[in-house]
Structure 1
Amino acid sequence: MKKTLAFLFKLVVVLFFSVAIFYYWGSGATLEESSYTTLTQKEYESTIKNDSIFSIVTYNIGYLSGMTNNRAVEKPKELFDENLKTVTTEFKKVNPDIIAFQEIDYGANRSYEIDQEDEIAKLGYNYIAKGVNWDKKYVPFPYWPPSMHFGKVVSGQSILSKYPLKDYERIVLDRVADSPFYRNAFYLDRLLQVVKVTIQGKDVVVMNVHLEAFDKKTRVQQIKKVSALFQEYAKNYPTILLGDFNSDPNDTNPAVNEVLKLPSVGNAAFSKDNLELTYSSKNPTVRIDYIFYSKATIESVGDQVLKDFGEASDHLPVEMKFRLK
């Protein structure tokens, strides 16, 4: 009996230290924090339309995992290759001047180490604001089976532009206050990217956001901060706020009302009487992706949900064509 108890005690001690070592190792970063906020310039062949109409797209690309996102199912490399091909083909057709991405991978195990930002930038997007919001050596999710774990994750939000970018800021939004420490250790940061795009001599502020998905109280706190900043920038610049808000206008007291209720704010491809839905891409049931803009300085001249991107992500992108007033 004593031998059995001693064995069990040793086993518990070994398991405890094994879990502790994994916790501290797996939740550690793979990059220097200074590389989380980068503004870079490439030299890819690019063409810029010489007219007064510009275009912008927001797209939660779901790391190109399609409808398998966050599910414990096999994700073969062929799935990611095909989805990347779909996305690049469609972007060639749409040819936006600016693209704001959420959930884009920069060389993660779960997406076969492909730098998705760079692959899409090769279409001619030479100005890039990168914001890493998830940098972990090993993420044990989905929880079971272990063979489905994400492993190393380096992911975030990116703004790709054919026009020069400057004055870039990466803002980390509030976390869920009562989230357990072990979840916080492996969870991503929720970000707001703010950058100025210089278009034909004018500075346009672009704000790219990805709000909290699972805790409404936190999401409301986040959007209040984002909304206040949007209003401040809109006093002095043409301003566009776009991204994945994780809030449908038909929810009870939706967080997105913080922006919807603002005066003189436009909303691309949106009508409360006839919502264009963006999630999920297979069978859309809600609208959670938006492009808001300051109507005093920006005129929308065409907008749509881009349904031809299909199931390359679990979201559909939204496009707005616009003119500066």
Structure 2
Amino acid sequence: MKRVFKWGICILLVLILAAAGYVIYACAAYYRVEDELRIDVECNQESLVEADTLYKIVSYNVGFGAYSADYSFFMDGGRESRARSKEAVEENIGGALDAVESLGPQFVLFQEVDIGSTRSYQVDERSMIQERMAGYGVVFAQNYDSPYLLWPLNEPHGKSRSGMMTLSAYQIGESLRRSLPVEEGVWKFLDLDRCYSVSRLPVDNERELVLINAHLSAYTKDGSIADAQLHQLAAEMAEEYRKGNYVICGGDFNKDLLGDSSAVFGASGEEYSWAQPFPADSVPEGLGLVAPLDEERPVASCRNADRPYDADTAYTLTVDGFLVSDNVSVEKSGVADTGFAWSDHNPVYMEFRLNGKA
């Protein structure tokens, strides 16, 4: 009996030391990517953006290539923590690119693009996108480079390197990565780092189109963090507008842009704490929210991935859209219905003109 007790004590001590060692590793390995980091523009194009010309922009969160329609994610209350295979990642990214190309955009904003992550089997999704979409200038802003997440225990999420890609068929003058406020404490290891990229495109009337790619936090315990992120983003946009520039921000805002998507799409989202209404009254003067919606044939931009997608029962909402300055005329916006075949998001698009007398 004493021997069993001693072995039990030894095993317990080993587990405690292993847990302590992991905590030390995670804390030591955690870092935030530098703020105001200048980003290289690859394959830059020569043509200038023209005022009073119709353009189309697409924003698409590709969900690191994991979310086929029958996929569920552990942080949304589902079962899986990684893509199912390398082949599944390649298939999902390929399908997402098919959807984007069918829309024929001049500008594309991608979020959750992995460049070397356990969860996506080390597939370089950035290279896949860049190779497929030749003819666009490319900016990649690394969102995070997280330590190995040892959860869930049966299939750890692992180490993640991911970011956002901005593609432009027109010349990009320069691009900058801007860090966003994030939570402190243990929760930062789950919500990870957050940022947005700011790309400056010269316009033929000697102004600039300031194109912002954003992905705001979802898994925060402190609701003030999401508000602080939006405040920083909107303040920078308002400042650029005051300078006379055109400003477009697109991406995944992780807020219900319609205010009450349940009334539009049916299923209730009361149990999902992250699906809060977008605070439209906090948008500064000179900016406007574009929440894409076809009222005759409404399509949501996002599904909650707590279970495989079922069109009749899934909680869906629109969290992807655009903020634009008042000197940008929006002529059309919408959500492309992919049936969530390649991601837990659908691509959203907007057709717009830059007013010549900005």
TM range (shorter): 0.7 to 0.9
- 1:312 equivalent to 2:342? Answer yes
Return the alpha-carbon distance in structure 2 between the equivalents of residues 108 and 212 of structure 1.
19
SS in 2 for 1:307: coil
1:238 corresponds to which of 240, 246, 255: 246
Gaps of 5+ in 1: none
Provide the aligned C-alpha RMSD in A: 3.5
User: Identity over aligned residues, as a percent?
Assistant: 23
Return the alpha-carbon distance in structure 2 between the equivalents of residues 164 and 135 of structure 1.
29
Q: What is the TM-score with the length of structure 2 in the denominator?
A: 0.75
> Which gives a bigger RCO, structure 1 or 2 (Cα 8 Å, sep 6+)?
2
Instruction: Say if 1:225 and 1:318 are closer, same or farther in 2 by CA, change over 3 A.
Output: same
The alpha carbon displacement at 1:126 in A equals 4.3
Return the alpha-carbon distance in structure 1 between the equivalents of residues 276 and 97 of structure 2.
37
What amino acid is aligned across from residue 40 of structure 1 in structure 2?
Answer: D
Question: 1:192: which partner in 2?
Answer: 196
Instruction: Say if 1:258 and 1:190 are closer, same or farther in 2 by CA, change over 3 A.
Output: farther
Instruction: Say if 1:29 and 1:204 are closer, same or farther in 2 by CA, change over 3 A.
Output: farther
The alpha carbon displacement at 1:288 in A equals 0.9
- 1:75 equivalent to 2:84? Answer yes
- 1:62 equivalent to 2:67? Answer no
What amino acid is aligned across from residue 253 of structure 2 in structure 1?
Answer: F
Question: 1:171: which partner in 2?
Answer: 178
- 1:104 equivalent to 2:113? Answer yes
Which digits, 9 at most, give the CA deviation of each residue in 1:227-271, with x for residues without a partner? Answer: 222211221210012211111112897343245675552515248
What amino acid is aligned across from residue 256 of structure 1 in structure 2?
Answer: P
Question: 1:13: which partner in 2?
Answer: 13
Count the aligned residue pairs: 318
Question: 2:99: which partner in 1?
Answer: 90
What amino acid is aligned across from residue 142 of structure 2 in structure 1?
Answer: V
Contact 1:105–1:117 (8 Å) recurs in 2: yes
Q: What is the TM-score with the length of structure 1 in the denominator?
A: 0.82
Question: 2:320: which partner in 1?
Answer: 289
Question: 2:217: which partner in 1?
Answer: 212
Gaps of 5+ in 2: 262-274
Return the alpha-carbon distance in structure 1 between the equivalents of residues 291 and 260 of structure 2.
17
Question: 1:130: which partner in 2?
Answer: 140
What amino acid is aligned across from residue 221 of structure 1 in structure 2?
Answer: A
Which digits, 9 at most, give the CA deviation of each residue in 1:3-35, with x for residues without a partner? Answer: 555544433332222122233435665999569
Return the alpha-carbon distance in structure 2 between the equivalents of residues 317 and 270 of structure 1.
12
Which digits, 9 at most, give the CA deviation of each residue in 1:129-168, with x for residues without a partner? Answer: 3222221342223x142xx322221112222222232442
Return the alpha-carbon distance in structure 1 between the equivalents of residues 175 and 226 of structure 2.
23
- 1:116 equivalent to 2:117? Answer no
Contact 2:34–2:179 (8 Å) recurs in 1: no
What amino acid is aligned across from residue 111 of structure 1 in structure 2?
Answer: S
Instruction: Say if 1:46 and 1:111 are closer, same or farther in 2 by CA, change over 3 A.
Output: farther
SS in 2 for 1:254: coil
Question: 1:321: which partner in 2?
Answer: 351
Contact 2:86–2:123 (8 Å) recurs in 1: no
